[in-house]
Each structure stands twice: as C-alpha cells, then as structure tokens.
Amino acid sequence: MFSIVLLLSAIVYPLVPRFNSLSLTWLPSTLWGLPERIPILRLLQYADNVIKENIKAKKEQRVIDAIKKREAEGSSVVGGPIPQQLERREEQKEPTIERFQAKEVNKNIDILKIESLEIKTDKTQVHLDQKCTLRAELKMNDGTVIPATRLVDWKVVGTAKVNMDKDGTLTPKETGTIQVSASYMGSFSNDLTIKVIEPLKPKKKRSFWYYLLIILLWMLIAAFLLFFIWLFRRVNKLRELYENDPRGFIRAVYEILCISFRAYGIRKLIYMACREFYNIARELCSARPEPMYAITENVLEAGFSEHEITRQHANEAIRLFHEIKDVVLEKEVIGKFWRGLLFKFLILDVLLVSIDRESFK
C-alpha cells in the first residue's frame, strides 16, 4: 500500500503548480505527515507571506529613515510635509493606562451612603510646560459633599504620559490626549478629557538697545527728580531770605538776574562793579533801561547803606525784576528763541517765590 501511494504521488506531484501557488497540503499525511508539524514544509507553506511581509517592512523602514533624515536636515519628506507625517505617527500611537493610588484613607465615610463621585478640572487644555489641578468630590445621600481628592484612585488613559501627586496636580510629560477618571470603594466618577499641547513659545529676548533705552529713561527720571529737589530748596531759601533777611534777598535776586544774562552772552565778572555791569547790560534793556538802573541802585543801597532794609524794599526789587524780565523777552531776536527759554530757566526759582503781590500796585 505504501508503494502504491508513493508511485501515485510521484506521478501527480510534477503537475502541482510551483512558486506562488505552491501547495503541499494535499499530500497524504501517511506519506509526509501533517505539514504544520514539519519545519521545512511549514517554511514552504508560509514562504510567500513571509516574503511579502519582509518587503513591506523594508518599505516602511525606508520611509521612517527618510523622515528621520529630513527631520535632521530641516527639509520636507517627499510626498508630503513632515508635520503631516508626524501627525499620522501621533495618531498611530497606542494609548497607555496609568494608575495613581490614593495616599490617604478616611474610615469615617460610609460607602453605603455614597450617591456619586464627581471629578473636576481647572483646564481642559494644558501646555506641556504647565500644570492643571483635579478635584474629586463625594456626594452623599444626605446632600453633603466631601472633598476626596486625596482619597480616590486616579486612572489616566491616553497617548500622553503624565504624573499626578496626592493633591491632584497633574503634570504632563509629553503631548497627546488623555481621559481621566477616578474611583473610590466601588464608586466610579465621570470621565474628563484633557488635551496636552506644545509648550508656550518663550518670550522674545530683549535686545541691548531696549535695556539701554530703559536705563536712559530711568536716568532722565532721576535727573528730573534731582532738578526738582534742587529747585525746591532754592525757592525755600529765597522765601526764607524774603521773610527774615530782605537785604540778603535783594542781593540774591540781583545775582540770579546777572547769571540769567549769560543766555544773551553778557557775563558779570567777580571784579566788576554793579554800575559797570549796568553799562554793559544796558544795551540788552535799551527799550526801557530804567528798571535795570533802579535795581542796581537798590543792590548798592542794600549792600552799603546803614539804614534798615524792610520787606518793602524786597518787594520793590521783585517788581523791578519782573519789569526787566519783560523788557528782555520783548527784545528777543528772531531765530534765537532758545535764548529766551534758557533765560526763563535761569530765573525760574525767583519766579516761583510766593510773595505779597499787592505790594506791586
């Protein structure tokens, strides 16, 4: 019987299709045994599928290698941009399950009276460099609500890896989408979907010129502050002289007037007498030189006379000062407006002194 089967098999076997349609499963098990139990027959039986799978794997590997290469070079992949292929790879990522056990136990809670377990979150979309906070609450049959953030077991299912501490603070480690739920002694909560996205773009670094501008602005503010302090002290000093020492007040006003004439190129030297300076400054006050002459005589009287100098004399000096100011500003040369500004700046402390204006009349 064995010989007959062997002869028949030898005659029919050449007619069996080869290569892709090769089939040996028809052979009698009495001749070869079951093909699945013989390694060489099993290899021949699945050779076609193995070859196809190897070819497919090589193609996929070539695509992955091309993606990695072009990612490193910063260019796009042939057949589509890199972000699209990365998105497809992200979609193919298998979800994982992470569990975070409770850190505390409350034996005073009666599990038979628990009506529901609810969890909440302050963010449904969190950046990779941020955190979000989860809260769990147990609602009892009598209407009371018990905070249970530290009591529940957390379950996180998704494509992103996260970490969670005992206070319910969720810290993402990679981008993706997760679904969070909680359980407590057989009670299960609602599900929350949280999406983890790319971190916020860092703030643009300030340039050197920005910091330089800030420093200059602060220096300008400091300069203005020092100037106002200096001006305040000057005005207070003049006010004290006006009240306590009218003789010294008249001399101080005259000195400020002489200094202010420097805006027009007229300087009073140390060795120059008051009347000599008047002859030089008379040209500037040529429209009405009488106030300049009168204040010069008042200064000489305050400096060398023996009779008493009162506030009335100080008021007269201030009146003459304002008249001189008006005469000088009326003669302002066209195109030299900055001289008038400098002149007003130099006499600013005298202009701010508060005195009895009624005495001018």
What is the average per-residue pLDDT within 343-356? 82
Is 241 in the same domain as 340?
yes
> Which of 36-50, 124-138, 258-272, 277-291 is the least confident region?
36-50
Confidence of residue 19 (pLDDT cuts 50, 70, 90): very low
- Report strand pairing: 176-184 vs 187-188: antiparallel
Query: Does residue 22 register a pLDDT over 50?
Result: no
Contacts of 205 (CB under 8 A, 6+ apart): none
Q: How far apart are CA 55 and CA 60, in angstroms?
A: 9
What is the model's pTM? 0.44
Is 81 in the same domain as 59?
yes
pLDDT in tens, 85-138: 545 555 556 788 888 888 777 878 888 888 889 999 888 888 888 888 999 998
CA 131-132-138 angle, to 5 degrees, is 150
Residue 67 in domain: yes
pLDDT in tens, 71-81: 665 544 444 44
Query: Does residue 269 register a pLDDT over 80?
Result: yes
Residue where one domain finishes, among candidates 197, 221, 248:
197
Nearest alpha-carbon partner for 168 in 189, 187, 183, 154:
154
Q: Which long-range contacts (CB under 8 A, 24 or more apart) does 162-167 make?
A: 162/98, 162/196, 164/100, 164/134, 166/103, 166/104, 167/133
> Which of 3-12, 135-144, 289-298 is the least confident region?
3-12
Is 156 in the same domain as 291?
no
Residue 189 in domain: yes
User: Which CATH number does the domain housing residue 171 bear?
Assistant: 2.60.40.10
Tokens of 130: 């941020």
- Answer yes or no: are the C-beta atoms of 12 and 1 closer than 8 Å: no
Total tally of structural domains belonging to the chain: 4
- Mean of per-residue pLDDT scores for the chain: 78
pLDDT at 220: 95
Nearest alpha-carbon partner for 151 in 181, 183, 191:
183
pLDDT at 76: 42
pLDDT at 221: 95
Is 80 in the same domain as 141?
no
Query: Does residue 174 register a pLDDT over 50?
Result: yes
Beta carbons within 10 angstroms of residue 254's beta carbon: 23
Find tokens 């449904």 and name the residue. Answer: 124
Query: Does residue 249 register a pLDDT over 70?
Result: yes
Is 65 in the same domain as 142?
no
Residue 260 in domain: yes
Q: How far apart are CA 205 and CA 219, in angstroms?
A: 23
What is the percent of the chain where pLDDT is above 70?
Answer: 72
Is 119 in the same domain as 192?
yes
Contacts of 167 (CB under 8 A, 6+ apart): 133, 149, 150
Tokens of 71: 């990612």
Nearest alpha-carbon partner for 146 in 202, 96, 205, 104:
104
Find tokens 């400054």 and name the residue. Answer: 281
Residue 202 in domain: no
Is 80 in the same domain as 123?
no
Q: How far apart are CA 241 and CA 177, in angstroms?
A: 80
Is 217 in the same domain as 251?
yes
Confidence of residue 229 (pLDDT cuts 50, 70, 90): very high
Residue 234 in domain: yes
**Residue 29 CB-half CA count within 13 A:** 4
Q: How far apart are CA 254 and CA 246, in angstroms?
A: 12
**Residue 259 CB-half CA count within 13 A:** 13
Q: How far apart are CA 131 and CA 313, in angstroms?
A: 78
Domain extent for 252: 208-360
Residue 174 in domain: yes
- Report strand pairing: 169-172 vs 187-188: unpaired
Who wins on pLDDT, 40 or 59? 59
Residue where one domain finishes, among candidates 175, 197, 219:
197
Is 100 in the same domain as 86?
no
Is 233 in the same domain as 321?
yes
Residue 203 in domain: no
Is 256 in the same domain as 234?
yes
Q: Which of 48-62, 85-99, 150-164 has the highest mean pLDDT?
A: 150-164
> Angle at which helices 311-330 and 337-346 pack, to 10 degrees?
170
Measuring CA to CA, how many Å separate 232 from each of 4, 260, 279?
A: 131, 18, 33
Is 222 in the same domain as 356?
yes
Q: How far apart are CA 201 and CA 222, in angstroms?
A: 36
pLDDT at 228: 92
- Answer yes or no: are the C-beta atoms of 176 and 159 closer than 8 Å: yes
